[in-house]
Amino acid sequence: MLRVLKARYEQKHRTMKYPSGPLPALPDRFAGRPEIKGPCPEDCRACIGACPVNAISINNKCIAMDMGRCLFCRVCVTACPHGMIMFARNHQLSATRRQELIVSTGSPVKTEILSETARDIFGRSLKLRQVSAGGCNACEADSNVLGTPAWDMGRFGIQFVASPRHADGLLITGPVTANMRLALEKTYAAVPEPRVVIACGACAISGGPYIDHAETINGASSVVPVDLFIPGCPPHPLTILDGLLRFLGHEIPD
């Protein structure tokens, strides 16, 4: 016991102070919220041809990007000869309505995602059952890291649990393969009401790179109602934590 206490003392305090303190350091290549600088000057559509998941559309030269499909690969940035598309450092990507994930010129830098129901019922204690519905394990890994001492989402009352019977909701990753559909339906049915569903990552929101594949069903919304969408491929742990906290009504500084 003394050795344990000595080791813990030497380790010091490892949990970051965010959100009451500064943001944790983001990697240099972090791609945050996309920004559309203006209409396409020549309607060249080079970005559309370059995007591997058809996340970009142009209507009357107005560019729109669907963060729910976007892989944040930044191929469109390189392809655009006019520099109309860029990815900022803004990590606040989440939305409670699917259409709010579509970004165009003049879109707000973040959306209001407070759920009054979630705040009133789960604001101090949210237990989630994580469901990997055919994911590659990237979104799963960035979700699980929130349980480490550095992030410690348990200090906000948010925890992953082993059984849907003990959960307040689901955090779903992966495009929902045909073989996982029934499992997801049964897991959702096993969660007691009221319950919340969170789609984490491009695959869970839209199918991601597997969209319209014969063996996937294009994300969680095809099977269960989704209350919170967290874009990314994968979303950074900070993006996931920000989405969860704002969804539950926590005060998050800009």
Q: Tell whether 127 and 233 lie within a shared domain.
A: yes
Residue span of the structural domain in which 85 resides: 34-90
* Measured distance CA(26)–CA(90) in Å, rounded: 10
Structural tokens at position 252: 């998050």
Q: What pLDDT is attached to residue 236?
A: 97
Q: Looking at residue 5, what is its pLDDT?
A: 77
Q: Write out the H or E segment, with its range, that includes residue 72.
A: none
The pLDDT tens digits of the residues spanning 200-251 come to: 999 999 999 999 999 999 999 999 999 999 999 999 999 999 999 999 999 8
The number of domains in the chain is 2
Tell me what percent of the residues of the chain surpass a pLDDT of 90.
Answer: 83
- The amino acid occupying position 81 is P
Name, in order, each residue with C-beta under 8 angstroms of 95's C-beta and a sequence gap of 6 or more: 101, 111, 113, 228, 229
**Which tens digit of pLDDT belongs to each residue from 164-175?**
999 999 999 999
Sequence-separated (6 or more) residues with CB below 8 Å from residue 91: 23, 26, 30, 32, 33, 236, 238, 239, 242
- Between strands 126-132 and 158-160, the pairing is parallel
Determine contact, residues 184/223, Cβ cutoff 8 Å.
yes
76 and 197 housed in the same domain = no
Q: What is the pLDDT of residues 27-68, one digit of tens each?
A: 999 999 999 998 888 878 899 999 999 999 999 889 999 999
**Is 103 contained in some domain?**
no
Is residue 112 helix, strand or coil?
A: coil
Cα-Cα-Cα-Cα dihedral of 97, 103, 104, 109, to 10°? 100
Residue 18 lies in a domain: no
pTM for the whole thing?
0.93
In the prediction, which pLDDT does 11 show? 64
Which pLDDT value is given to residue 36?
Answer: 95
Do 40 and 120 sit in the same domain of this protein? Answer: no
Q: Tokens for 100, please give them.
A: 């709010």
Extract the tokens encoding 82. Answer: 């006019």
Dmax over CA atoms of the chain, in Å, equals: 71
pLDDT of residue 2: 85
Residues 123 and 239 in one domain: yes
Same domain? 183 vs 123 = yes
Exposure b/e, 169-193, CB count within 10 A at least 16 = b: bbbbbbbbbeebbeebeebbeebee
Sheet containing 196-200: order of strands: 158-160, 126-132, 169-173, 196-200, 228-230
Of residues 253 and 34, more confidently modeled: 34
Q: What angle do CA 158, 163, 169 make, to 5 degrees?
A: 50
Is the preceding omega at residue 225 within 30 degrees of 0, hence cis? Answer: no
Q: What does the alpha-carbon distance between residue 25 and residue 201 come to, in Å, rounded to a whole number?
A: 21
21 occurs within a structural domain: no
CATH code where residue 59 lies:
3.30.70.20
| 164 and 228 housed in the same domain | yes
How far apart CA 11 and CA 3 sit, in angstroms, is: 12
Answer yes or no: is 172 within a domain.
yes
Query: pLDDT of 101-157, one tens digit each?
Result: 999 999 999 899 988 989 999 999 999 999 999 999 999 999 999 999 899 999 999
